[in-house]
Amino acid sequence: MHARIRIAGGVAALAVLAATAAQAAIPASERDGLIALYNAAGGNQWANNTNWCSGACPASGTPTFNAAGTECTWFGITCDTGSSHVTAIQLGENGLAGTLPSLTPFTALQVFDAHNFDPSLPNLTGPLPSFTGLNQLRVFDVHRNGFSGALPSLSGMTALQKFDVSVNFLDGTIPPLTGLSGLQYFAVDSNYLAGSIPSLAGLSALQYFDVDSNLLTGAIPSVTGLSNLQQFLVFNNQLSGFLPALMNLPSLERFDASANFLTGSIPPLTALPALDYFAVYSNQLSGSIPPLGGLTALTYFDANTNFLSGSLPDIAGLTALGYFSVYRNFLSGTVPPMTGDDALYAVLLAHNQLSGGLPSAPANLAPGMSTLCPNAFDLNPDAGWDAAVGQSPWYGNPPQCGDTIFGDGFDG
């Protein structure tokens, strides 16, 4: 009898614990924060607002929200294992429109995602919220919205791994990134940010850095020590000074500093085994093009419209190289052989001071995508180059090469 009573008592205790767990609720401040988010960001019109409302959410008017304790079942909301705090708000591509209220009630928040891929959808506007107190935040992603104003301070956010506010209308400066030792992905491109790029020293986890298409000035910071860096994109700004040294970057795949006011020379590109894409066009770079031998992963090289001189680098044997563009420079000498470059589909050499005979055209050049004139080449017929530049003969009739190498009007 006593055994039965003890067992029954144990079952009753388990039932009480289960009921308590089922009724566990996030703090009232976090519930209020979610309701504020729904109301400020047009929750009635979201593509998915399942479980936010008692019954179906109305298309307009004031909704009746589901009872306290249900918040962890609301679409886009994730809580910790005890259902005691909101840890993730993931409402990307869900039709959010309006503004973002304060996120400070969510002291355990790790992920906030309200990105918008489709420009035809409504989007969020107004300022970005403060990150004060959000010390556990790992991911903040609101790219392709309509946010304006300044970037908030990121000071003390040592857990931050991904920060993406690209393609908005933000202005002001990029805040210091010092101390963000976990930062892997930083994207603020396509805004109206001004001032300089902050120091990247100590960001050893950084893999993706994109500040392109802003109004940034000053020098490109050092990337030395960023051994995990894969993509570094600073193009289409107003940057000046020299290109940074690109040493001991075994993971670097893409480097683009095009369309700035950079001077000096192109740094050595040796010991970059993963380099796939290198673009520095439309700057004021001088000196010679460094050797490209050994860049077996390189598919794209573009240094057009600079003040580069000297001879063309040897690209024979770069079996992955598809696009090679150095037009509008002051390069001289002959064009080296392109044997083994079967991936090449475009070679742009126009508006230089190159001379001599052309090597055999690589077999897979795309029709009409290459440029050769004006230069001082020997005018020897070549059907392969005819096809590559899209005219026969390749040097034009009347000739656009030979003695007319400095003619104007050719757009490369």
In this prediction the pTM is 0.91
Q: How confident is the model at residue 117 (pLDDT cuts 50, 70, 90)?
A: confident
pLDDT at residue 396, rounded to an integer? 92
Two tokens at 28? 């009232």
Q: Half-sphere exposure of 15 toward its Cβ, with a 13 Å CA cutoff?
A: 6
pLDDT at residue 410, rounded to an integer? 37
> Three-class SS of residue 42?
coil
β-pair partners for 379: none
Residue ranges of alpha helices (H) inside 107-223 are none
| pLDDT (average), residues 3-23 | 37
Q: How confident is the model at residue 377 (pLDDT cuts 50, 70, 90)?
A: very high
Kindly write down the DSSP assignment for every residue of 303-348, as one continuous string.
--SSEEEEPPPP-TT-TT--EEE--SSEEEEPPPP-TT-TT--EEE
| pLDDT (average), residues 283-309 | 97
Separation between Cα atoms, residue 345 and residue 388, nearest integer Å: 9
Q: Reply yes or no on whether the pLDDT at 314 is more than 70.
A: yes
pLDDT at residue 100, rounded to an integer? 97
pLDDT at residue 118, rounded to an integer? 78
The set of residues, in sequence order, having a beta carbon less than 8 Å from that of 359 and lying 6+ positions away, is 335, 336, 337, 338, 339
From residue 325, alpha-carbon distances to 289, 299, 304, 348, 371 in Å are: 12, 12, 6, 5, 9
Separation between Cα atoms, residue 302 and residue 300, nearest integer Å: 7
Q: Are the C-beta atoms of 50 and 71 separated by less than 8 Å?
A: no
CATH number of 23-110+118-137: 3.80.10
Q: How confident is the model at residue 24 (pLDDT cuts 50, 70, 90)?
A: low
Do the bridges between strand 254-256 and strand 231-233 make them parallel or antiparallel, or are there none, so unpaired?
parallel
Separation between Cα atoms, residue 291 and residue 289, nearest integer Å: 7
Hey, how many other C-beta atoms are within 10 angstroms of the C-beta on 349? 24
Separation between Cα atoms, residue 262 and residue 255, nearest integer Å: 14
Two tokens at 177? 């990134």
Q: How confident is the model at residue 121 (pLDDT cuts 50, 70, 90)?
A: confident
Percentage of the chain lying above the pLDDT 70 cut: 92
Q: How confident is the model at residue 197 (pLDDT cuts 50, 70, 90)?
A: very high
Q: What is the pLDDT of residues 41-83, one digit of tens each?
A: 999 999 999 999 999 999 999 999 999 999 999 999 999 999 9
pLDDT at residue 1, rounded to an integer? 38
Average pLDDT taken over every residue of the chain: 91
| pLDDT (average), residues 81-95 | 96
pLDDT at residue 412, rounded to an integer? 41
| Cα three-residue angle 257-263-268, rounded to 5 degrees | 70
Q: Reply yes or no on whether the pLDDT at 192 is more than 60.
A: yes
Residue-wise burial string across 257-295, b where 16 or more C-beta atoms lie within 10 A, e elsewhere: bbbbebbeebeebeebeebbbbbbbbbebbeebeebeeb
